[in-house]
Amino acid sequence: MSVPLTVIGGYLGAGKTTLLNHLLGNNHGLRIAALVNDFGDINIDADLIESADSETIALTNGCACCTLADGLTTVIAALRERSDDFDHIVIESSGVADPLKIGQIGAAFGFPLVAVTVVVDAEMVRTQSTDKYVGDTVMRQLGSADLLIVNKSDLVAPGELESLGAWLAVTAPDTPRLTTRGGRVDTAILLSSLRTSDTSTVEAGSHDSFDSWSFRTDAPLRRSDVEAFLTALSPGVVRAKGILRLADDTTTEYLLQRVGRRASLLPLKAVSAEDPTDTRLVVIGVPGSIDGELFAQRLSGVAPADS
Query: Which residues contact other proteins by CB under 8 A?
Result: 11-13, 38-40, 54, 69, 73-74, 77, 94-96, 101, 104-105, 107-110, 132-134, 136-137, 140
Q: Which is nearer to other proteins, 30 or 142 (CB)?
A: 142
Q: Which is nearer to other proteins, 20 or 282 (CB)?
A: 20
In the sheet that holds 237-246, the strands lie side by side as: 211-217, 279-285, 237-246, 249-259, 262-270
Q: Classify strands 262-270 and 249-259 as parallel, antiparallel or unpaired.
A: antiparallel
**What's the rounded Cα separation, in Å, for the pair 74 and 182?**
31
Question: What single DSSP character describes residue 39?
Answer: S
In the complex, what is the shortest distance from the CB of residue 110 to other proteins, in angstroms, rounded to a whole number?
8
Q: Which is nearer to other proteins, 74 or 231 (CB)?
A: 74
Q: Helix, strand or coil for residue 36?
A: strand
In the complex, what is the shortest distance from the CB of residue 100 to other proteins, in angstroms, rounded to a whole number?
8
Q: Which is nearer to other proteins, 104 or 231 (CB)?
A: 104
List, in sequence order, every residue forming a beta bridge with 206; answer none if it has no partner: 180
In the complex, what is the shortest distance from the CB of residue 300 to other proteins, in angstroms, rounded to a whole number?
31
In the complex, what is the shortest distance from the CB of residue 37 to other proteins, in angstroms, rounded to a whole number?
9
Q: Which is nearer to other proteins, 9 or 285 (CB)?
A: 9
In the complex, what is the shortest distance from the CB of residue 282 to other proteins, in angstroms, rounded to a whole number?
27
Contact 283, 295 (CB under 8 A): yes
Dihedral angle computed from the Cα positions of residues 153, 156, 160 and 165, in that order, rounded to the nearest 10 degrees: -20
- E strands, the chain, are 5-9, 32-36, 49-52, 56-59, 64-67, 88-92, 113-121, 147-151, 177-179, 211-217, 237-246, 249-259, 262-270, 279-285
Q: Which is nearer to other proteins, 113 or 299 (CB)?
A: 113
In the complex, what is the shortest distance from the CB of residue 13 to other proteins, in angstroms, rounded to a whole number?
8
Contact 209, 229 (CB under 8 A): no
Q: Which is nearer to other proteins, 95 or 182 (CB)?
A: 95
In the complex, what is the shortest distance from the CB of residue 103 to other proteins, in angstroms, rounded to a whole number?
9
**What's the rounded Cα separation, in Å, for the pair 99 and 273?**
40
In the complex, what is the shortest distance from the CB of residue 133 to other proteins, in angstroms, rounded to a whole number?
5
Q: Classify strands 56-59 and 279-285 as parallel, antiparallel or unpaired.
A: unpaired
Residues composing the chain: 307
**What's the rounded Cα separation, in Å, for the pair 297 and 291?**
10
CB atoms within 10 A of CB 93: 26
Q: Which is nearer to other proteins, 132 or 272 (CB)?
A: 132
